[in-house]
Each structure stands twice: as structure tokens, then as C-alpha cells.
Structure 1
Amino acid sequence: MQFWGKACLAIIAMAGALACVAPAAQAQDRCTAYANEMVGLDQRARQMRCPGWSSHSNWQNHYNWCTTKTPAQTNGAVDTWSAKFDGCAFSYGGQGGGYKPPPPANAPKQDASRTPICKSFAKYLVTWRNKAIATGCTLGAVKEGSWSEGEAYTFCMGTSDAEFRTRSPQALGAKGVFEKACTQELRRPIKL
């Protein structure tokens, strides 16, 4: 009987030791995942040249920081940096701060007579996009919707003659695309 008593005590002691090891292993797994996520975000943001990005890709520093924080604090940090990254990606059409849309291969030389129409087109495109966003629509699938006014102007000026003739000074084609995309996304009629 004495053997079984010692065996039971040994089993109980091992179970207690495993219970103490489990939280430490969970913290290591959590911090490994945190450091991987932060380095991945930093590298994507730097590749996109996000303006004002101030994180870093030092995996060990991210890991060490995580080990001194609660899960809620590390989740909050990931959420904050993810939101900054998403803001950069959305503001610049998923291409980052240094993105400039390339002119079409068959684009004619810059024709100064296009300037008034393209300026108007760019202004309206951004206006329609902002109105669509105000309805709650994310416009994730509409690449032109993420252009800045300058990028939309550059795009318009660089289109072929045939494309330019279809360009509306009020960007009515873009307005229609936004309305359709937002109507589908929000599942209610959207008129901008």
C-alpha cells in the first residue's frame, strides 16, 4: 500500500508541475504570435511606404515587450497597429503612400485641353467616394475609389483618346459604380 501512496503523490506532483508550466507555454505561444504579427505588419507597411509609420521589425524586441504585458495589452497593440496599416492601405488604394497609378501604355502626350475636364473628374470622383464612405460602405472592391484627387487627375490625363471621350466631368460613371457596389454591400438602395 505504501508503494501506491508514493506513486499517487508522484502523479499529483507531476500534474501540479504541468499546471504551472502550461501558463508559461501559453505566454510564449502568445508572444511568438504577437512578434510575428508585428514584424509582418511593419514589413508590409514599409514596403507600401505608409506615411508616418513608426513601428519596427525587431522580432526579439516585440517578443520581449509582449512578455511584460497582459494579453489584453498585446491584443490592443496589434489592433492599433493593424488599424494604422489598414488606414494606409485604404487611403492609398492598397498600394501605400508612394503609389502612383501607371499611365496606360497607349496614352497620348499630355493634352492641355483635357485639364479642366480631368480636374473636375478628379474632384467629383473623390466627392462620390467620400459620400459613399459616409453611408457606411467600405468600397473594398472599387480600386479607383481609393485614389487621391491628384492620382485620379493623373489617371484621367493619361487615358487614351477613346477612353477620355467617355470621361464625365462629374465622374458619373464612378458615381454609378460606387452606388452599385454600396447597394450590394449594404443591401439597401444607395443614391449618392
Structure 2
Amino acid sequence: MRTDTSTGRSPIAIATIAGLATLAALAATPASAMPPLQCQDFVNFAMSAQAQYYARGCARIPLMHANREGHFQWCLKRSDAVVNADRKAKAAALQSCLVASAPPPKPQSAQMQSTASREPVCSSYGQFGERWRNRATAQGCNVAAIPVPRGWASYAWGANQLFTYCMNTDDAAFRGRSAQALGHKAQLEKACSQQLRRPVRL
């Protein structure tokens, strides 16, 4: 077998080394790296998602950063599947933020000026709130972990706590601050579905 006098290696050895170098180069670069135009679309989505996310006051997380060039360079080196997975993760984080920060529904009962008219409304408010809380808990939803702004009623409260809250809160504040006003069922379903990553029906 002939030997390359300049390297002391046989042609087979030289070819093997060249082949290994080529494989290493291919491994370093994804076979289906994203093209620049698609990466620009990804960057636009990422920047829009993080802007909406932080505009709602949600907690800062590495996934939602505002480094446009960082998003672009990261995308160029990733496959379509990896970029799409990141896009879905950002969308899920944004949806979770929107659900958690959504304004509470207004009570269905408007006449609460006097104690006499207030008691039946507050009693119903408490009973429905507890019923939906129990149904959510039975399906594995951690209702106490659902965030609500300071001063709002908690999803974890029972009928008595909700009744007291309702009776001690003026009408305007009750309509504006209650996280469990009558008719809150759909909102609680959304929050629990997001938390458990599966449909929750109450």
C-alpha cells in the first residue's frame, strides 16, 4: 500500500480523516436549519409575545426575553422542529399569563344596596363559588395557586368566606375586584385547564 510521504499516512487513512471531518461539520450544523426569512417571522412573533406578556405584569422568565438579535441568531442555528417547539412554548406562556391576568366577570345581580337585598345575592355568590371550587379541586386543580390581584376574593375560599367578603365589600368594589363573582365558572375552567394542561369542565 502506498504512503503519502508528506504525512506518513496511507490514502485510506487520509480519506478516513477527511470523512470524519466532514461528518463533524455536518453534525455541528442542523440538517434543516431555518432560513433567514422564516427566522424573521419567528423573531416578530417572539417580540410580540414577550411585549404582551410583560404588559400584563406577568413574572419574568428566560423564555420571554426582548433580545431581537439573540432570537434571530438562535433560530438560524436550529431546526424547524426546535423553533416550532419554542414558538409553542412562548404561546403557552402567553396564554397562561392572559388567563391569570384576565379581568373578573361582573356579578349577574345588580341590586345590592341594602343588607336585605344583599344577603341572598351574597349567599348565592358563596354557594356557587364553593361548588365550583370543590369541582375543580376534585379534578386535581390547585385553586389556591391561581393568582389573583391583592384585595380580590380567592378561588380557594369557601362559601362562608365568600359570603363575608361579599357582605363587607361595597357594590362597586365587589363588581370590580371579585375573582369569583357570579358567573365566574368559565374563567375558573380556563385557569384550571391551563394549569393541568387538559380540559377541565365544572
TM-score, length basis structure 2: 0.43
* Structure having the larger proportion of residues in helix: 1
Over alpha carbons, which structure has the higher Rg?
2
TM-score, length basis structure 1: 0.45
